[in-house]
Homo-oligomer: A and B are copies of this chain.
Amino acid sequence: MKKVDLDEWMSKLKRIEDRVERLALLSQLGQILNSTLEYREVRRRAIEAATRLMKAETGSLLLIDREKRKLFFEVALGDKEETIKTVTLGMGEGIAGWVAQKGKPLIANHPEQDHRFFKGVDGRAAFKTRNLICVPVKVKKKVIGVLEAVNRRSGADFDQEDLALLTSLADQVAIALDNARLYREQEEMFLQTAESFADAIEKRDPYTGGHTQRVTVYSQAIGRHLPLKPPERKWLRIAAVLHDIGKLGIEDQILRKPTQLSREEYDVIKHHCDLGAGIIEHIRQLKEIVPGVKHHHEQINGKGYPNGLKGEDIPMIAKIVSVSDTYDAMTTDRPYRKALSKEAAIKELKRCSGTQFDRKVVRAFLKASRNGEI
């Protein structure tokens, strides 16, 4: 009798120790999930967390697109990633679709016997699903997606304890996704507002319609062919959007003059670089943007303005915006001349590479142009 008790105790102890270990892991995974506000990264970490916590072979996160009434496999780990992430399910279709629609968790230890099981994923990914566990991801009680783990490594069935743990993880995934969404919304609000202001400023000059938007597209395309760090790419985009905001401070009669400008008038126009920098220079979070706005009319040979900076003294972002800005000016009609063809403008960029423009930036422009990005 005693003997039996002891065995029971030991197995109970083993189970509970296992539970301690998994709860500690859950807490650690929650930290990893929440230590980024990048939407894509949260999704990737959610999958990884579900897979590790469930001791599974793979996992996936399916997010609901309410408009299309579909579920998207947003990411899935491992070799099959590329294949799996293109799969979509209808709401209610397959096990994940059932979980998304009902908002209830589900364990399928014998999915081949479950009529809800959708074999499309297995088929397309050459993947055999032995068992799976699947829970809804809810933000303020609204189902936004489904988190699942597939194929327990040990071969054992998924059980109610797994379900409780995965549900708890899904709650953390929901929070991390929602925070990333809020952060991204604010980021978008900033960018869209900056773009709107830039557009409105640009509209004062009837000859530059769409200029800011094109310069932004060109600058980002050039940036993709240069070894920039991720934050530099973000700054480049903002600097391109804001490069001409200083024109806000230029009088209508000069800005809108339909004929060629006098030397004095041109000097006034040149002032837009300093004016633009002045508008944003006291904003701490935009300090990396200021040089891009201020120096986008400098030239490698030192003959540019406002400071006549030379070569490497000109910030990279400014050198990129300079090429984009000049290319767009050449390829659009101006009050006093017609637009150049794309080919003629590229020839001009090449001709001035190393004197007016940075050689590396022109090379990146040419790559982007050949790629059809410009």
Contacts and interface: CB of A to CB of B under 8 A. Distances in A.
Nearest to A35: B175
Given A13-B12, A280-B196, A201 B37 contact: no
Interface in A242-288: 245, 248-249, 251-253, 279-280, 282-286
B31 A171 contact: yes
A6 B37 CA distance: 49
A2 interface: yes
A193 B31 contact: no
Contacts of A19: 20
Contacts of A193: 190, 193-194, 280, 283, 286
A189 B282 CA distance: 11
Given A23-B20, A189-B283, A196-B279, A34 B172 contact: yes
Contacts of A88: none
A307 interface: no
A37 B182 contact: yes
A127 interface: no
A75 to B, nearest CB: 21
Interface residues of A, number: 57
A188 B264 CA distance: 39
Contacts of A200: 245, 248-249, 279
Interface string A108-139: 00000000000000000000000000000000
Interface string A1-16: 0100110010011001
Nearest to A32: B175
- Most chain B CB neighbours (cut-off 10 Å) among A17, A23, A37: A23
A16 to B, nearest CB: 5
Nearest to A248: B200
A13 B20 contact: no
A203 interface: yes
Stoichiometry, copies per complex = 2
Contacts of A26: 23, 27
Interface in A1-59: 2, 5-6, 9, 12-13, 16-17, 19-20, 23-24, 26-27, 30-31, 34-35, 37
Interface centre among A199, A200, A204, by most chain B C-beta atoms within 10 angstroms, is A200
Contacts of A30: 27, 30-31, 34, 172
Nearest to A201: B248
A186 interface: yes
A282 B196 contact: yes
A183 B336 CA distance: 47
A187 interface: yes
Interface of A: 2, 5-6, 9, 12-13, 16-17, 19-20, 23-24, 26-27, 30-31, 34-35, 37, 168, 171-172, 175-176, 178-179, 182-183, 185-190, 192-194, 196-197, 199-201, 203-204, 245, 248-249, 251-253, 279-280, 282-286
Given A189-B190, A192-B282, 17 more contacts: A2-B2, A6-B9, A12-B13, A13-B13, A13-B16, A20-B23, A27-B30, A27-B172, A31-B175, A34-B175, A35-B175, A37-B182, A186-B187, A189-B285, A197-B245, A200-B249, A204-B248
5 contacts: A31-B171, A186-B187, A189-B283, A193-B194, A200-B245
